[in-house]
Amino acid sequence: MAATLKVEVDGIEPGGGPVRVALCQGGLSEPFCTRGDEEPASGGRASFTFRDVAPGTYAVAAFQDANANGRIDRTGLGLPLEPYGFSGAVARRGRPDFSDAAFALQEPGAAVRVRLARALPRR
């Protein structure tokens, strides 16, 4: 059995780099986010579709890679310098717990929305 997940990302900054989205299972750190996709930033919104996903509990992490270096840049204290967001109703004070960002994905699929925001004002 496989499902399809549609991810809508909004809050994309004009003139920024690509938007990167990761599908995570069991946690929100890199080892748990094994499937990803990237789209050029155009307009304030981007759509992603993950196909053939096994039903289960997942979360989505996304960020706009303003300098296109393939990773989210951070301050010396670990605060993100680029717009980022997660699925679910999570606060912007740092990486949420997986359970706060998680949703159940069942066949035939689901749709989630992620809103990007900055932790700190743009430099």
pTM for the model stands at 0.91
- Distance, in Å, from the CA atom of 2 to the CA atom of 73, rounded to the nearest integer, reads 34
Q: What is the pLDDT of residue 90?
A: 66
Has residue 92 got a pLDDT over 80?
Answer: no
Q: What is the pLDDT of residue 16?
A: 83
Q: What is the pLDDT of residue 86?
A: 94
> pLDDT for 34-76, tens place per residue?
999 999 988 889 999 999 999 999 999 999 999 999 999 999 9
- Distance, in Å, from the CA atom of 123 to the CA atom of 112, rounded to the nearest integer, reads 30
Residues 6+ apart with CB under 8 A from 52: 2, 4
The answer to whether 9 and 48 are in contact (CB under 8 A) is yes
Q: What is the pLDDT of residue 99?
A: 93
Residues 6+ apart with CB under 8 A from 46: 8, 9, 12, 19, 39
The answer to whether 26 and 98 are in contact (CB under 8 A) is yes
Q: What is the pLDDT of residue 43?
A: 84
Residue 91 — pLDDT band, cuts 50, 70, 90?
A: low
Residues 6+ apart with CB under 8 A from 9: 19, 21, 45, 46, 47, 48, 62, 85, 113, 114, 115, 116
> pLDDT for 5-36, tens place per residue?
999 999 999 888 999 999 999 999 989 999 99
Q: Beta strands 56-64 and 109-115: pairing type?
A: unpaired
